[in-house]
Amino acid sequence: MTFWLFSPSRPSSSLRIPFPHGTSPMCTFAGGRVTSLNLSNLGLAGIISPDIGSLIFLRTLNLSHNNLQGHLLSELGRLSHLESLLWQNSFEGRIPADLTNCSNLLRLSLGSNKLTREIPAELGPLRKLLVLSLTTTISGEASLPPWEISLL
Measured CA to CA, the distance from residue 69 to residue 23 in angstroms comes to 20
User: How far, CA to CA in Å, does 74 sit from each of 50, 59, 94, 95, 96?
Assistant: 8, 17, 10, 9, 5
Residue 39's domain is classified under what CATH number? 3.80.10.10
User: How far, CA to CA in Å, does 148 sit from each of 41, 96, 130?
Assistant: 34, 18, 12
Each residue's pLDDT expressed in tens, for the chain with a length of 152 residues: 444 444 445 444 444 555 555 555 677 777 778 888 888 888 878 888 888 888 899 999 998 988 888 898 999 999 999 999 988 888 888 889 999 999 999 999 888 888 876 777 878 888 899 988 877 655 555 555 565 655 55
Range of the domain at 32: 26-133
Structural domain includes residue 15? no
Structural domain includes residue 104? yes
Q: Report pTM.
A: 0.75
